[in-house]
Chains A and B, each alone.
Chain A
């Protein structure tokens, strides 16, 4: 039984491999290979750097490099021209630290003689030698989402325990190419303890961090002695110490995840005590430590998300006691202050960047606009997306601004960046152009919505994602009722290559809260009928996606834009 599965799997791999080969060796039957790597965006409003008011110019890129920005560039014949007359061009956004495309590494099996007071490093979450690139996939939908939000470069942070591994700088470029800019950018660290073994608590993590640091320093001395004189005992350097050497030698910064004020203080205290280079990421509550950040000169990457306003909205105006009202006002005060934090960093003169870890790509515009309406200047907001993270990551010479010779990472918008109605038309990362559809402004009508039996809203655009053995995939489901018949279309990852394919929805029905429908997928000359069925609760649908002979997989969808039809 198992063997058969294995055979089937091998066959699948072989076929897939052969298909891939064929696709590249022949004359690109998919028609998706790009014709040229030279592009020119002509006569656009180009904002070269934060603070630049923007001026009309043409920007020419080739092979992932900006060849020039100016009013009178000579365009080569092979340049594909993108008319930019109504468009605005900004430097591509840089994610200071994120986890997009990163999967959790396999859990390490405990040895037979495991003792929880002295666990092997690898079991205890101490794996500083691991590389983020080993668990990174540029084809992840998360990467698509963040690219769509304007991000072109990210420092990806590996998942794991207190010292999960080395971060990497990656482009959010064409997934089929190598997108690595730097494989060893920082040593990731956080205050995550190990479950049921040493270090089991925050206190243990801090002690273990010191231990690793101090012993690495001694190992460096031992290795130096061994290399320079005879008769020295052989050093038995552990992978942990080897990996931590550049940290102790202050060549590699420690990227510490510190969300709260106390975590920020603790990380800075460790830095002061030991003397390593420190970058803080994922800051959420930092209002009271801005002075500490400033005086310690610690580079910070704040979380690109503001707190949700659910608690504020749920506050009742009537029927509550004075005491409850007083508590409400403290939550409101805390919420208001949280929104102002980024502006306060700017006021304190701290050049911060953003961290996308645990943030939502779909909320980027809203988050930035909230920060700006709470006092952050547009210049500082753009700097936090471009020049500041470039400086913190040590790549200012190649990224962060639009200049000749820099990496071709651009964001092209329909209006000035922080205008509410501004949309992203193109994102160019590593010289690859990603073209996005511009949503038309919905025309609000007076008519009441109909076609929502049982109070279940089904019509509109649903964003869905599903987990299959081939990885996560997703797209949009558009549902509409015409003459009482439910129908529409669905987009999904094209099985024959990159990008999205669209198929019409058939046999759709809504009974009670359960929505079910089918659609056909063409793959390798075959056609498969895929069925989705799920229960709708408010704007969320949860259910399963089933594929014949493959089984069913969980699917989750969110009604992102309910239709205000008729």
Chain B
């Protein structure tokens, strides 16, 4: 009997594997490096053995099994692949800005594995990014956790299929501007934002009840209850209430952070991470107690009213108060040097090397629910690794090689001039590779276009 179940499970597992995209897994032996494990201290002159995408041994004087390449990393540092908990790299669409709640939107639908930003992130040692919906809506779309397997043609092959579901929420000026001021609907104020969330969850509870009632009734003889309407929007909110989805909430001010903490307490939701969280230092104990922490900028602020009250000590204060804290990019430019951003917590807050590196490795892994798989160098974990020349927290650090699942996707010595995956047959103008607004936030991408369109309509309607 047991054997049958085992066989069945194996068969099922095989089936799933075949239906999903082919994911490449590699083997490699990195020799004689300073290994910064992040969770288990630093190991001098040590080796890391990777077999079939998984770290199988860490120690001194390991020998490469037959067929596995050894890389001499003498004098170099190896750290876990950097994880960016807030990014919009690799997405064709960022904002479906047209409604205050768009929980049915899936960023996995619009992943573009050919975005050059992925390669640039790899060159900065980033192996995983959290590709998020934008912040135009109170409840935005469901995000995608990406593994930077550069060169994959299939979007499914760069989506981290074993990562849990996450969703974007947004408080404050962005949703009130787009929907309230721009469109004349709720929310027009921070109170409105709270009302939209509470109404959404309450509606979801009714939705769940409606379906439960129908599912019970339809099995009965002589049932006259007809099926309720299907709504992936409400079903997603139900899944949040059921603890199946981690909320990642765009936020700045302490009052609104505290507001959301009250809301999740009322609805018994445990899985919330705050994003940006510039005033997080004011409510750090509350964040530590009730949430999965905060993902912040090292020192970026004053780009709009709600982001003035800020400090570069924010990350350190949150961390010292026991909140899980990560440092993110929200930018295709910042993503290339998150190790510098992490280093700033040492200048502003005096964090240790390990605490600073945790901000861009194991802590974001915890916030994405993947800390059992990645985020540190431990036997059994997925082999996402970066080899640095110089200590990664030094301002002279230069990433040399980046591995995802043991496969090398970036090598500074073998860096092609032209990394584009797709070149149009009709391309006339020599391409300009840098985007002028690369340093800007992409949180509000696609919103301007939307705004223009509907303001035009708004004006027409008035005439």
Query: Beyond A196-B98, A200-B96: 5 further Cβ-contacts under 8 Å?
Result: A117-B185, A207-B106, A226-B226, A232-B224, A269-B156
> Separation in Å of the A37 CB from the closest CB of chain B?
46
Given contacts A201-B93, A204-B96, A215-B230, contact A265 B183 (CB under 8 A): no
Chain B 213-230 interface residues, beta-carbon cutoff 8 Å to A? 222, 224, 226-230
In the docked arrangement, what's the CA distance between A235 and B112, Å? 41
A214 interfacial by beta-carbon distance below 8 Å: yes
Given contacts A262-B155, A288-B153, A334-B423, contact A314 B428 (CB under 8 A): yes
In the docked arrangement, what's the CA distance between A292 and B222, Å? 46
Name the segment of A43-51, A320-328, A555-563 touching the other chain.
A320-328
Can you list 6 A-B contacts (CB < 8 A)?
A195-B453, A198-B98, A211-B231, A262-B92, A330-B420, A334-B425
In the docked arrangement, what's the CA distance between A288 and B92, Å? 19
Q: Is the CB of B226 within 8 A of A203?
A: no
In the docked arrangement, what's the CA distance between A115 and B457, Å? 11
Chain B 86-115 per-residue mask, 1 if CB under 8 angstroms from chain A, else 0: 000000110111111010111101101000
Partner of B109, one of A110, A203, A261: A203
Given contacts A110-B457, A327-B430, A330-B420, contact A229 B224 (CB under 8 A): yes
B-side contacts of A335, CB under 8 Å:
425-426
> Separation in Å of the A154 CB from the closest CB of chain B?
26
In the docked arrangement, what's the CA distance between A204 and B92, Å? 12
Chain A 315-346 interface residues, beta-carbon cutoff 8 Å to B? 323-324, 326-327, 330-331, 333-335, 337-338
Q: Is the CB of A201 within 8 A of B227?
A: no
> Separation in Å of the B312 CB from the closest CB of chain A?
35
B258 interfacial by beta-carbon distance below 8 Å: no
In the docked arrangement, what's the CA distance between A338 and B426, Å? 10
B-side contacts of A110, CB under 8 Å:
457, 461
Name the segment of A304-312, A391-399, A420-428, A500-508 touching the other chain.
A304-312
Residue among B222, B228, B418 with most chain A CB within 10 A: B418
B-side contacts of A195, CB under 8 Å:
453
B424 interfacial by beta-carbon distance below 8 Å: yes
A-side contacts of B457, CB under 8 Å:
110, 114, 116, 196-197
B44 interfacial by beta-carbon distance below 8 Å: no
Chain A 208-249 interface residues, beta-carbon cutoff 8 Å to B? 210-211, 214-215, 218, 221-222, 225-226, 229, 231-233, 235
Given contacts A204-B98, A262-B92, contact A330 B418 (CB under 8 A): yes
Partner of B141, one of A203, A225, A323: A203
Q: Is the CB of A196 within 8 A of B453?
A: yes
Q: Is the CB of A266 within 8 A of B109?
A: yes
Q: Is the CB of B428 within 8 A of A197?
A: no
Given contacts A196-B457, A221-B227, contact A308 B426 (CB under 8 A): yes
B450 interfacial by beta-carbon distance below 8 Å: yes
Given contacts A200-B96, A323-B417, A335-B425, contact A207 B183 (CB under 8 A): no
A199 interfacial by beta-carbon distance below 8 Å: yes
Partner of B110, one of A197, A202, A232: A202
A-side contacts of B212, CB under 8 Å:
none
A118 interfacial by beta-carbon distance below 8 Å: yes
B-side contacts of A308, CB under 8 Å:
426
Partner of B100, one of A117, A214, A269, A288: A117
Q: Is the CB of A307 within 8 A of B426?
A: yes
Q: Is the CB of A310 within 8 A of B428?
A: yes
A206 interfacial by beta-carbon distance below 8 Å: yes
Q: Across the two chains, which residue of chain A brings its CB closest to B222?
A: A229
Residue among B106, B185, B424 with most chain A CB within 10 A: B424
In the docked arrangement, what's the CA distance between A292 and B22, Å? 12
A-side contacts of B425, CB under 8 Å:
307, 311, 331, 334-335, 337-338
